[in-house]
A and B are shown apart, each in its own frame.
Chain A
Amino acid sequence: MNSLVISNIRQRPLRSTISVIGVSLGVALVMLFTGLARGMSNDLQRRSSNMRAEILFTRPGSIQINTSSTNLSTKYVERLRQIEGVESATPVIRYFYPSGSFGVDQIEGVEWNDFAKMNNVRLVQGREPRQADEVVIDETKAARKHPVGSALKIFGEKMYRVVGIYAPESGARAKLTLASLQEILEAPGKCTYILVKVKNPNDQVAVARRIDQELPGNKVQFTRDVFASIESSIPSLGIFLRVLVGLAAVVSALVIMLAMHTTITERTREIGILKAMGASRRYIISEIEREALLISAMGLVVGFALAAAAGFFIHKTTSLIFEFGWGWALTAALIGLLGGALGAFYPAIRAANLDPVNALAYE
Chain B
Amino acid sequence: MAAILKAENLEKVYRVGKVDVPALRGVSLEVQQGEFVAVMGPSGCGKSTMLHLLGGLLTPTRGRIVIDGEDLTAASDAKRTDIRRRKIGFVFQRFNLFPTLTAEGNLRLAERIHANGADDPDRRREVLRLLRLEDKMQHKPLELSGGEQQRVALARAVVTQPALVLADEPTGNLDSENSAIVLKMFQELNNRFNQTIIMITHNPEAAAACGRIIQMRDGHIV
Cβ of A356 < 8 Å from any Cβ of B? yes
Cβ of B144 < 8 Å from any Cβ of A? no
Binary interface encoding of chain B residues 92-130 relative to chain A, with 1 for a CB under 8 A from any of its CBs, else 0: 100010111100010011101110000000000000000
Q: Give chain A residues whose Cβ lies under 8 Å from the Cβ of B208.
A: none
Q: Give chain A residues whose Cβ lies under 8 Å from the Cβ of B114.
A: 277-278
Q: Give chain A residues whose Cβ lies under 8 Å from the Cβ of B55.
A: 276
CB distance from A268 to the nearest CB of B (A): 12
Given contacts A357-B57, A357-B58, contact A269 B82 (CB under 8 A): no
**CB pair B113 A277 closer than 8 Å:** yes
Cβ of A187 < 8 Å from any Cβ of B? no
**CB pair B78 A357 closer than 8 Å:** no
Determine chain B's interface SS by DSSP, over half rule. helix
Q: Give chain A residues whose Cβ lies under 8 Å from the Cβ of B100.
A: 4, 7-8, 10-11
Give B85's nearest chain A residue, CB to CB.
Answer: A278
**CB pair B57 A278 closer than 8 Å:** no
By size class, the interface of chain B is 20 to 34
CB distance from B94 to the nearest CB of A (A): 9
Most A CB within 10 A of own CB, among B100, B108, B109: B100
CA distance A279 to B82 in the complex (A): 8
CA distance A281 to B80 in the complex (A): 12
**CB pair B82 A360 closer than 8 Å:** no
Q: Give chain A residues whose Cβ lies under 8 Å from the Cβ of B92.
A: 276, 360
CB distance from A287 to the nearest CB of B (A): 10
Q: Give chain B residues whose Cβ lies under 8 Å from the Cβ of A10.
A: 100
Q: Give chain A residues whose Cβ lies under 8 Å from the Cβ of B57.
A: 275-276, 356-357, 360
Give A273's nearest chain B residue, CB to CB.
Answer: B96
Residues of chain B in range 51-91 having any CB-CB distance to chain A below 8 Å = 52, 55, 57-58, 78, 81-82, 84-86, 88, 90
CB distance from B175 to the nearest CB of A (A): 23
Cβ of A155 < 8 Å from any Cβ of B? no
**CB pair A3 B101 closer than 8 Å:** yes
**CB pair B105 A279 closer than 8 Å:** no
CA distance A20 to B133 in the complex (A): 37
Q: Give chain A residues whose Cβ lies under 8 Å from the Cβ of B78.
A: 280-281
Q: Which single member of A8, A280, A281, A360 contacts B85 (CB below 8 Å)?
A: A280
CB distance from A348 to the nearest CB of B (A): 16
Q: Give chain B residues whose Cβ lies under 8 Å from the Cβ of A275.
A: 57, 81
Give B91's nearest chain A residue, CB to CB.
Answer: A276
Given contacts A281-B78, A357-B52, contact A4 B88 (CB under 8 A): no
**CB pair A278 B88 closer than 8 Å:** yes
**CB pair A4 B113 closer than 8 Å:** no
Q: Which single member of B84, B96, B99, B108 contacts A360 (CB below 8 Å)?
A: B96
Q: Give chain A residues whose Cβ lies under 8 Å from the Cβ of B58.
A: 357
**CB pair B105 A3 closer than 8 Å:** yes
Cβ of A105 < 8 Å from any Cβ of B? no
Cβ of A274 < 8 Å from any Cβ of B? yes
CB distance from A279 to the nearest CB of B (A): 5
Listed from nearest, the 8 A-B pairs whose CB atoms lie closest are A278-B85, A7-B100, A278-B84, A11-B100, A276-B90, A356-B57, A273-B96, A279-B113
* Chain A residues with a Cβ under 8 A of chain B: 2-4, 7-8, 10-11, 269-270, 273-281, 283, 356-357, 360
8 more contacts with CB within 8 A, not counting A3-B101, A279-B85, are A3-B105, A4-B105, A11-B100, A276-B96, A279-B113, A283-B113, A357-B57, A360-B92
Can you list 12 A-B pairs with a CB-CB distance of less than 8 A? Answer: A3-B108, A3-B109, A4-B98, A11-B100, A275-B57, A277-B84, A277-B90, A277-B109, A277-B110, A278-B81, A278-B84, A278-B86
